[in-house]
Amino acid sequence: MRVEIWADVVCGWAHIGKRRLEKALASWEGEPVEVVWRPYQIDPSAPARAVPMADLLRDPMADEALRACAPGLSPMENRARVAEVAAAEGLGEQWGSGWRAGTLEAHRLIALAYERGGAELQDRVVERVLRAHFVDVQDISDLAVLTAIATEAGLAEEAGYTGEPSLETLPGAELVRELLLVGKAKGVRTSPTIVANGLALEGAQPPEALREFLEDAARHTPRHLPAEVERLRYAESLLDQRDPLGALTLLRPLMEEHGGDRGVRLLAARAYFASAQLNRARTALESLVSESPDDSYARHLLGRTLQRQGRHEEAASHLTLAAVMTPDYATG
């Protein structure tokens, strides 16, 4: 059974959750479990160059955001509370983040570790990244820190830590971006979120609760869909969440491999329309309407696209026909 942990490595509860899951699995007697770490970002706006956490805690805007994470507690009180829980889990008395650090680089290394060496290698890399951030108080956005971790894990050359690397050119960067979108499409909204056999559990739950979750997941048989169908559904979810550019990112491989599929083309046209790429939307929709003149939805969307382009006479004919075929569109 595969257990996915969607988490950010600057999230203290992710470190605590890792230890609690390890305790839950220590006495697990069910089917073999593979634990895979997936990326999530609790602070996507973190600067490329990390800043000391002490500076962040003095920022009034940051203070307000941090208070929202723990209502009723100041950021300092919340940090102390989480540190106490971490110490109780055996993570050390001197535990706590010292930097507000971007995590895309760390996530890239973690994803690459799984691709190159599987769950065991990935677990070792995750453990080292978490220790660097919370115990050694290092800046895990610093390439020197990640290079040391990659070297120790035997991944330095494969991870591309030579010359002057950047996230745009290093292997694994595109994979991380896609995984972040997949997590969003799946509804992952907090760190950590544990997913197994289609079931999800949020937060760093106690080992007993984690064991119960694993038992429930082991009894659950999810419906397995072809990878292409699953990707299409993730893209639809992102479009429903008003992320058309994310939807197009996930659609790109489908458009390359299944460019003739009507469902793929229509979803792409919707994403083009939603992201104001109106020429692309019009081209795609004109082709769809030409092939299936009775497709009222494609015709209606083509009419709306033409409207937005200021081509009102052309738009009117399509909108009128669409409303005749589907009266609801008369008021849409």
- The CATH number of residue 74's host domain is 3.40.30.10
Count Cβ atoms below 10 Å from residue 178 Cβ, excluding itself: 19
Are 199 and 299 part of one and the same domain? no
Decide: residue 34, CB within 10 A, 0-12 exposed, 13-18 middle, 19+ buried: middle
Are 131 and 112 part of one and the same domain? yes
Are 235 and 187 part of one and the same domain? no
Are 236 and 209 part of one and the same domain? no
Q: Report the CATH number that the domain containing residue 249 is assigned in CATH.
A: 1.25.40.10
What is the structure's pLDDT at 57?
Answer: 67
Are 206 and 270 part of one and the same domain? no
Cα-only R_g, the chain? 24
Summarize pLDDT for 246-282 with one digit per residue, the tens: 999 999 999 999 989 999 999 999 999 999 999 999 9
Decide: residue 157, CB within 10 A, 0-12 exposed, 13-18 middle, 19+ buried: exposed
Is the pLDDT confidence value at 24 over 60?
A: yes
Final residue of a structural domain among 202, 219, 236: 219
Q: 67 falls in which pLDDT band (50, 70, 90)? A: low
Is the pLDDT confidence value at 61 over 60?
A: no
What is the structure's pLDDT at 300?
Answer: 97
Are 186 and 269 part of one and the same domain? no
Count Cβ neighbours within 10 Å for each residue of 219-246 and write b for 16 or more, e otherwise.
Answer: eeeeeeeeeeeebbebbbbbbeeebbeb
Are 178 and 32 part of one and the same domain? yes
Task: Please tell me the least confidently modeled range out of 129-143, 155-169, 313-327.
Answer: 155-169
Average pLDDT over residues 2-9: 97
- As a whole number, the mean pLDDT across the chain is 90
- Longest CA–CA separation in the chain, Å: 72
What is the structure's pLDDT at 55?
Answer: 72
Count Cβ neighbours within 10 Å for each residue of 250-267 and write b for 16 or more, e otherwise.
Answer: bbeebeeeeeeeeebbbb
Provide the residue range defining the domain that includes 59: 2-219
What is the structure's pLDDT at 224?
Answer: 85
Are 11 and 133 part of one and the same domain? yes
Amino acid at 69: C
Are 69 and 179 part of one and the same domain? yes
> What is the CB-side half-sphere exposure of residue 124 using CA atoms within 13 A?
13
Are 11 and 90 part of one and the same domain? yes
Give percent of the chain above pLDDT 90.
70
How many structural domains are present in the chain? 2
Final residue of a structural domain among 170, 191, 219: 219
CA-CA distance, 155 to 117, in Å (whole number)? 9
C-alpha pair distances (Å), 202 with each of 91, 156, 167, 205? 21, 33, 29, 8
Are 212 and 272 part of one and the same domain? no
Are 166 and 281 part of one and the same domain? no
Summarize pLDDT for 90-139 with one digit per residue, the tens: 998 889 888 989 999 999 999 999 998 899 999 999 999 999 999 999 99
Q: How many whole angstroms from its chain centre is CA 261? A: 26
The whole model's pTM is what? 0.89
What is the structure's pLDDT at 16?
Answer: 95
What is the structure's pLDDT at 47?
Answer: 82
Summarize pLDDT for 192-248 with one digit per residue, the tens: 999 999 999 999 999 999 999 999 999 998 888 899 999 999 999 999 999 999 999
Count Cβ atoms below 10 Å from residue 212 Cβ, excluding itself: 14
From 31, 59, 34, 27, select the one nearest 45 (Cα to Cα).
Answer: 59
Final residue of a structural domain among 163, 195, 219: 219
